[in-house]
Amino acid sequence: MSDSKLPLAGVKVMDFSWAVVGNTCAKMLGDLGADMLKIENPGRASLERMSRPVKNVPVAPPNDNPWFANLATSKFSLTLDMRNPASREVVDAIIDWADLVLENFSPGTMDKLGVGWDALRARKPSIIMASGSIFGQTGPLGSLGGSEVSGSAWSGRVFMTGEADRPPNLPGLTYGDSVTPFLLATAVIAALENRDRTGEGCRIDAAMVEALGQQMLPYILEAQHRRDAGEDERLPRTGNRSPRMSPHGVFPASGEDMWIAIAVETDAQFASLCQMMDRPELARDERFATLAARKANEDELEAIVADYTRVRDRYDTMMELQAAGVPAGAVQHIADVMDRDPQIAHRRHFRPVEHKVIGTFDHERTPVELTKTPGRMFPAPGLGEHTEMICREMLGFSAGDFERLREQGVFGKVD
């Protein structure tokens, strides 16, 4: 099963991932070559199997969900009813096989299932256990479940996103769910390296609120500075503006809901922007000649820039400003990204993968290019698709033992 041309070839993962944090981490490990053994309870399969955000697909639950298919590439599926005591025989065999146990249940769930950290390391001291959660495995809030929104709200990130005259807004896409998996994956590979060096296992506890707390660090430190100085420690939302750049905003372009982002960091870039706007005199105007002056007169400046952009095509403006050395980008919608962006196409970010139920459709690749070991994507498994293969070929159960376990109801009932 292992392919030595893949960077994580030979790494064996007992994957209990149930939602986006775990499944995104698992996708990366699998796409880069790890042997991923995904364990699902047929009565409570992965969240992305059960949620149905896409309508126009063949109806064949639980294997008809493109969201799951996109996230669950490069792994094998085994169903297991862990409430059935007879399942322990299989669980122990998987622990003996695995280098890593990955999970993102609410804290405490793995203990209840008999596969908590103490049980795992008692059976196999070199095992690595990696958990992703919202608040972490310990602490006063450690017992709380939650979601992407809970972690983002707790970290201060939601509060600081938006404009001062309106409530904060929720970006309509994930962030904590998408960032935390890569902290988890980094720590997992670091732990594998440490294990190979020392023989020791490792317990990894990645909390979304801490992953996001690091990203929010400048705001946290600013609040502390203000507190230390006896100033008002409440920070305002600042929309698209930046303390380090001006103009720094999103300006209208021709067409409905069309916009262009412009981010001017230096006076030279501002002079180029003025040239392109056919207003070269503004670069010398005392209201705008320096960053401090531009910040002081930002409303007026933004109105001037908007007058320039609103009658122009967003891509024309982007390419002309870029050619003049001004950072600018068209605000792309998903259709633009998927159908129109030559960079995304060149990098083959979306790659067709044939799925047994859904057919061939574009999957997002794990977004990292390793030049010598570029990774893989094979289709997401159906629920329990590989149960027999895993037990027989990967875990070494005989045909008779497998039948016995099946008759004991160890693998649950898959409709």
Partner 1 sequence: MKSTLLESVRIVDLTTREGWDCGRFLASLGAEVIRVDLPGADTGEDWSIGQADKHCVAIDYEGDGLPLLRELIAGSAMVIESFTPGHMDELGLGHEALLAANPRLVTVSITPFGQTGPYANLLGSELVVSAMSGSLSMSGYPDRAPVKEAGDALFYHAAMVAAAGGMAALRHARLTGEGQQVDVSAQEVAQIRNTISSMQYQFDKNERGRIGIMMDSGRGPTRGIWDLKEGHAVASLMAPGSPGQKAAAMWMKEEGFPNPIEGVEANPFRPDPELVAKWLPALSDFLETREREEVIEKALTIDTGILPVNEPRHLLDDEHLADRGFLQKREGDGPSVFPEFFVKTDKMDQTRVNLPGAPVAVSSLADIAAIASEGEVR
Q: Does 4 participate in binding partner 1 (rule CB under 8 A)?
A: yes
Instruction: Closer to partner 1 by CB, 215 or 297: give it.
Output: 215
Nearer Cβ to partner 1, position 260 or 282?
260
119 interacts with partner 1 by CB under 8 A? no
**SS3 of residue 405 by DSSP:** helix
What is the pairing mode between strands 128-133 and 100-103? parallel
Q: Does 102 bind partner 1 (CB under 8 A)?
A: no
**Cβ distance 355 to 14 under 8 Å?**
no
Considering only residues 358-377, where is the footprint of partner 1 by CB under 8 A? Answer: 361-362, 364-373
Coil vs helix vs strand at 248: strand
Q: Which stretch binds partner 1 (CB under 8 A): 79-87, 182-190, 288-296, 381-389?
A: 182-190
**Half-sphere exposure of residue 49: CA atoms within 13 angstroms, side-chain side:** 23
CB of 353 to partner 1, least distance (A): 12
Using CB under 8 A as the binding rule, whether residue 2 contacts partner 1 is answered as no
- In the bound complex, what is the minimum distance in angstroms from residue 391's beta carbon to partner 1? 28
- The verdict on 182 binding partner 1 (CB under 8 A) reads yes
Q: Which stretch binds partner 1 (CB under 8 A): 80-88, 217-225, 376-384, 399-407?
A: 217-225
Map the footprint of partner 1 across residues 63-92, applying CB under 8 A.
Answer: 66-67, 70-71
In one-letter notation, the amino acid at residue 266 is T
Q: What CA–CA distance (Å, rounded) separates 115 from 93?
A: 12
- List of residues 6+ apart from 311 with CB closer than 8 A: 254
Q: Among 83-91, 159-167, 382-390, 395-403, which window interacts with partner 1 (CB under 8 A)?
A: 159-167
DSSP states of 287-349: TTSSHHHHHHTHHHHHHHHHHHHTTS-HHHHHHHHHHTT--EEE---HHHHHHT-HHHHHTT-
In the complex, least distance from residue 96 CB atom to partner 1, rounded to whole angstroms: 21
Which of residues 96, 111, 193, 307 is near partner 1 by CB under 8 A?
Answer: 193
Q: What string marks each residue from 17 to 56 as x (binds partner 1 by CB under 8 A) or -? A: -------x---x---x------------------xxxxxx
- CB 398 to partner 1: min, Å: 33
Residue in 92, 210, 320, 388 binding partner 1, rule: CB under 8 A: 210
Query: Residue written as tokens 């320039």?
Result: 308
The Cα–Cα gap between 290 and 312 comes to 27
How buried is residue 182: exposed, middle or buried, by Cβ count under 10 Å (0-12/13-18/19+)?
middle
One-letter amino acid for residue 253 of the chain: A
- Closest distance of CB 414 from partner 1, Å: 21
